[in-house]
Amino acid sequence: MMGTIQGALFLFMFRYVFGGAIDSRGALSYVDFLVPGFLVTVILWTGMGAASGVAEDSSSGVYDRLRSLPIPRSAVMFGRSLADGALVGWGILVTTIIGFLIGFRAQGSIGGVVAGFLLMLVAGYAFTWVFITLGLIAGNAQAAQGMSMLVIPFSFISNANVPVSSMPGWMQPFAANQPVSVIINAVRSLMHGGTDVVGIGHSTGYWVVLSLIWCAGIFVVFSALATARFSKLQ
């Protein structure tokens, strides 16, 4: 819940405080540029709660009781990931409603918008494993919250709020190619009807496929790490 509230506050701030001073450098108005990117970053803001929740369950002995049951240990983590993924989806839905209230309008087809939301749900589930892993490593909720902050630079050093071309030259390669920016390019292109409208290179299909590759890689790596860490907990 706190992640959703934080995301909403940042959305209002960028829309009404900074929006007039930021040039989206394309055919889109700033609010239409901002909201699809911001929806992707909500994955990070909402996902931070997963790390604290996992750490709290671990320190309170919840997982000790679950490990005593005759179920695969991986099932515990996958169940947790589905629950946290649903919370991420709720955060995206709430932020979408706020986005429409502040003037966002998708220029693409209904199918493209739906595909954009589906891609965000896939990305949200993949990133949930990152936060679950951090929560298991941290050991307590306070440490987990601090470790989760390591992911936040991916939100700000991205094309979510401003075009990458407006950033310092040394920062642009990372900002343009890190997974959050790649997913944002795909979601913007889907919601607004193509890369020409958004003002980026390549095709929509290219960004969608690249996003799915990133999501698959994140899922494989961090689900394995989380499951292994959970198995070693005493």
Please provide the DSSP assignment of 7-66 as one string: HHHHHHIIIIIIGGG----SSS-HHHHHHHHHHHHHHHHHHHHHHHHHHHHHHHTHHHHH
Cα(233)–Cα(90) distance, rounded to whole angstroms?
30
pLDDT score at 229: 86
What pLDDT, on the 0 to 100 scale, is given for residue 68? Answer: 67
Q: Could you read off the pLDDT of 120-173 as tens digits, one per residue? A: 999 999 999 999 999 888 878 788 888 888 888 898 899 988 889 889 999 999
What pLDDT was estimated at residue 151?
85
State the Cα–Cα distance between residues 202 and 210, nearest whole angstrom. 11
Give Dmax over CA atoms of the chain in angstroms.
58
Q: What pLDDT score was predicted for residue 124? A: 95
Q: Judge contact between 124 and 43, C-beta under 8 A.
A: yes
pTM value is 0.89
d(CA 89, CA 87): 5
pLDDT for the residue numbered 97? 92
Is residue 218 a contact partner of residue 127, using CB atoms and an 8 Å limit?
Answer: yes
Q: Taking the CA of residue 190 as centre, how many other CA atoms within 13 Å lie in the half-sphere pointing to its CB?
A: 26
pLDDT of residue 3: 59
Residues in CB range of 159: below 8 A, 6 or more apart: 37, 175, 176, 181, 184, 185
Among 159, 161, 166, 162, CA closest to 183: 159
Q: Count up the domains in the chain and report the number.
A: 1
Q: In this predicted structure, what is the pLDDT of residue 8?
A: 72
The segments of the chain whose pLDDT lies below 70 read 1-4, 6-7, 17-27, 63-64, 66-70, 73, 233-234
What's the domain range around 36? Answer: 2-232
Type and span of the H or E element at 122 = helix 110-138
